[in-house]
Amino acid sequence: MIELGSDIPANAPPMKDWMNYLPFVFSQTTSLAAELKRPVRKVSIDIVHPAWGPRFLALWHRDGTGLKIFSQMHDIAERSEIGVLNFEKADAPADDETMVDVSAAFDCNVEAFKLILDEEGTRAECGLALQANNGDQITIVPGAFPYSLAILGVFASTPHIFEPEYQLDRYTRVPIT
């Protein structure tokens, strides 16, 4: 049985109506919530093909460590799939990553939100929104091209940077506690 936390919205469909629940994937012993709320100084992306959008985004912290975010596809119905964010710790950026500084407002604890999608009887933790204390946001969701990301709030001049799998108004935004 799936253990659901208190972060599921009160207006969510009853558990019996969900065929599948696809949570974020983070296989570390530390808390994903704590990792996501850490101050961020820089972000980096890796683009395999210029028409596909980034393959991953990494959040880089004051101490030089990072958190890499990428999408994994899941089949949810015939000819229908959904991306779910995966997270893994990173020690250093690769030489071919594109790195930029983020707003100084992210260099303190940030608020983190899951972006949850209900589709074809599946509830999935698909996206992430990080919000700084001044209201600036970075939004990361699976991209329209399989295994890519759509990123809003940084890299605005990069072609194909924000081509999401689903429109943002389809996601339910839930605080990560």
With a cut of 80, say whether residue 11 has pLDDT above it: no
AA letter at 68:
K
What's the CA gap between 142 and 128, in Å, rounded?
Answer: 10
pLDDT digits (tens, 9 = 90+) for 105-156: 999 989 999 999 998 889 999 999 999 999 999 999 999 998 999 999 999 8
What's the CA gap between 123 and 126, in Å, rounded?
Answer: 9
Residue 150, pLDDT score: 95
Comparing C-alpha atoms, which of 46, 41, 30 is closest to residue 63?
Answer: 41
pLDDT digits (tens, 9 = 90+) for 39-97: 999 999 998 777 778 999 999 999 999 999 999 988 776 777 899 999 999 999 988 89
SS3 at position 141 = strand
What DSSP state is assigned to residue 13? P
When pLDDT is cut at 50, 70 and 90, the band that residue 3 belongs to is very low
Residue 116 neighbours by CB under 8 Å, 6+ apart: 9, 123, 124, 125, 126, 171, 172, 173, 174
The model carries a pTM of 0.85
